[in-house]
């Protein structure tokens, strides 16, 4: 594979299987020999057990349809948060508060002009802050092209997750396609992982070379970039996905869909740690638009310790995942 963005046509992949005496009956179907060799790949088969009802589904879809030329919505993850407030001073009562957080793959009929961050913020406001979404968005034309050439992330996001809404069955034509497991795919994942983590390691290495007298904001900005690269590395090694939207809170949330690492290092229930998380996420904005440091060097050093722990544990997590991917991809190429 020449680069991280190189893709392999499904037809080319099938030809390669033929070269290894794996008889192909038709696209998406393989011989018994391949089935036996791929028993550990059953988790990647299309799912048919799709729930149809979700919290606040109709209201959420109504908002999305007003904003976007919606084709389909797939639910990657859902988190329900319930809080109950009891009042003991008149008027006495109980005020239950519920919030739903969705991670969605949204496919639109055509490209959208709105920024994805604005779409997510607008949905949050229109739902009276009771429902928040983290969206991954593609136009339909791009999805069809990527599925035809072979895109493991989109195949899983569409055929391995519950469908909340679909306008028609256009994408059903791709259901008999399959994920691509090949040495070249693994090499691309490995190269992307190394490139991202090497960048993050370099950024951490230069932090201590900054003049520490009055550069708390600069230190935080570099840490922000380092964690961003780490998240991008994790997303590619676990999902084979490169986000188009790259706010740090968004990237950390996506990483939390396959690992507890973001919640472990940056738990939001403690005020002190939540403040560190907020300073880190706002570092780039403060760097661009503010001239005064809003945090002390002591604060920046505390954030650094958290960020370095995140990087070190992400390194172990990614290396473990790479071993599993190597077994899947390289065995399929033998």
Classify residue 145: in a domain, yes or no: yes
Classify residue 99: in a domain, yes or no: yes
Residues 207, 243, single domain; the answer is yes
Handedness of CA 266, 243, 289, 284 (dihedral sign): positive
How far are the Cα atoms of 9, 11, 144, 147 from residue 177, in angstroms, in the given order? 11, 10, 12, 8
Q: Of 141, 174, 207, which one is at a domain's C-terminal end?
A: 174
Residues 133, 267, single domain; the answer is no
Task: Locate 273 and state its tokens.
Answer: 């740690």
Question: Residue 66: what pLDDT?
Answer: 95
Q: Considering the chain, what percentage of its residues have pLDDT values greater than 90? A: 63
Residue 4 has pLDDT above 50, yes or no: no
Residues 166, 221, single domain; the answer is no
Q: Within 13 A of 24's CA, how many CA atoms are on the CB side?
A: 17
What CATH number does the domain containing 242 carry?
Answer: 1.20.120.330
Classify residue 170: in a domain, yes or no: yes
Classify residue 49: in a domain, yes or no: no
Residues 246, 321, single domain; the answer is yes
- 55-76 residue pLDDT tens: 999 999 999 999 999 999 999 9
Quote the CA–CA distance of 101 and 127 in Å, as a whole number.
11
What CATH number does the domain containing 101 carry?
Answer: 3.30.460
Residues 309, 233, single domain; the answer is yes
Classify residue 19: in a domain, yes or no: yes
Residues 255, 279, single domain; the answer is yes
Q: Of 155, 174, 193, which one is at a domain's C-terminal end?
A: 174
Quote the CA–CA distance of 93 and 115 in Å, as a whole number.
41
Residues shown for the chain: 334
- Strand pairing of 29-30 and 93-108? unpaired
Residue 295 has pLDDT above 90, yes or no: no
Q: Where are the beta strands (DSSP E) in the chain?
A: 24-26, 29-30, 70-87, 93-108, 131-139, 163-166
Residues 122, 15, single domain; the answer is no
Strand (E) or helix (H) holding 239: helix 216-239
Classify residue 3: in a domain, yes or no: no
171: nearest Cα among 111, 108, 227 = 108
Burial (CB count <10 Å: 0-12, 13-18, 19+), residue 78: middle
Residues 142, 236, single domain; the answer is no
Quote the CA–CA distance of 41 and 3 in Å, as a whole number.
25
Residues 120, 204, single domain; the answer is no
Residue 212 has pLDDT above 90, yes or no: no
- 145-194 residue pLDDT tens: 999 999 999 999 999 999 999 999 999 999 999 899 999 999 999 999 99
313: nearest Cα among 278, 258, 262 = 262
Classify residue 215: in a domain, yes or no: yes
Number of H helices, E strands in the chain: 13, 6
- The DSSP 8-state label assigned to residue 47 in this structure reads P
Classify residue 2: in a domain, yes or no: no
Residues 201, 302, single domain; the answer is yes
Task: Quickly state the pLDDT bin for 208 (edges 50, 70, 90).
Answer: confident
N-term to C-term CA, the chain = 17
Residue scoring higher pLDDT (35 or 55) = 55
Task: Locate 16 and state its tokens.
Answer: 């390669």
- Local structure of 219: helix, strand or coil: helix
Among 39-48, 168-177, 197-206, the range scoring the smallest mean pLDDT is: 39-48
Residue 258 has pLDDT above 50, yes or no: yes
Residues 86, 219, single domain; the answer is no
- pTM for the whole structure: 0.82
Question: Residue 24: what pLDDT?
Answer: 34
Question: Residue 289: what pLDDT?
Answer: 86
Quote the CA–CA distance of 81 and 151 in Å, as a whole number.
33
Count of domains for the chain: 3
Residues 86, 126, single domain; the answer is yes
Full domain range(s) for residue 38: 10-44
């Amino acid at each position: 594979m020449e680069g991280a963005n190189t893709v392999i046509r499904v037809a080319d992949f099938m030809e390669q299987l033929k070269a290894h005496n794996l008889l192909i009956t038709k696209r998406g179907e393989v011989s018994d020999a391949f089935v036996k060799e791929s028993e550990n790949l059953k988790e990647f088969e299309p799912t048919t057990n799709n729930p149809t009802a979700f919290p606040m589904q109709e209201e959420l879809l109504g908002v999305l349809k007003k904003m976007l030329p919606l084709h389909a919505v797939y639910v990657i993850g859902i988190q329900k948060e319930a809080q109950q407030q009891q009042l003991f001073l008149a008027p006495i009562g109980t005020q239950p508060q519920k919030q739903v957080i969705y991670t969605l793959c949204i496919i639109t009929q055509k490209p959208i002009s709105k920024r994805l961050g604005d779409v997510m913020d607008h949905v949050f406001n229109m739902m009276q802050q009771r429902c928040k979404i983290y969206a991954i968005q593609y136009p339909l034309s791009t999805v069809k092209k990527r599925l035809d050439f072979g895109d493991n992330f989109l195949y899983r996001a569409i055929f391995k997750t519950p469908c909340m809404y679909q306008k028609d069955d256009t994408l059903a034509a791709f259901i008999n396609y399959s994920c691509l497991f090949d040495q070249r795919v693994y090499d691309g994942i490995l190269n992307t992982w190394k490139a991202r983590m090497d960048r993050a390691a370099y950024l951490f290495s230069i932090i201590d070379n900054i003049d520490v007298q009055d550069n708390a904001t600069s230190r935080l900005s570099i840490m922000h970039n380092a964690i961003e690269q780490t998240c991008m590395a994790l997303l590619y090694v676990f999902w084979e996905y490169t986000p188009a939207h790259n706010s740090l809170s968004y990237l950390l949330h996506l990483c939390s869909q396959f690992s507890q690492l973001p919640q472990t290092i940056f738990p939001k229930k403690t005020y002190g740690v939540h403040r560190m998380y907020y300073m880190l996420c706002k570092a780039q904005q403060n760097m661009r638009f503010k001239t005064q440091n809003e945090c002390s060097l002591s604060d920046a050093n505390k954030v650094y310790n958290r960020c370095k722990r995140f990087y070190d544990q992400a390194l172990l997590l990614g290396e473990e995942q790479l071993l599993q991917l190597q077994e899947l991809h390289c065995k399929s190429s033998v």
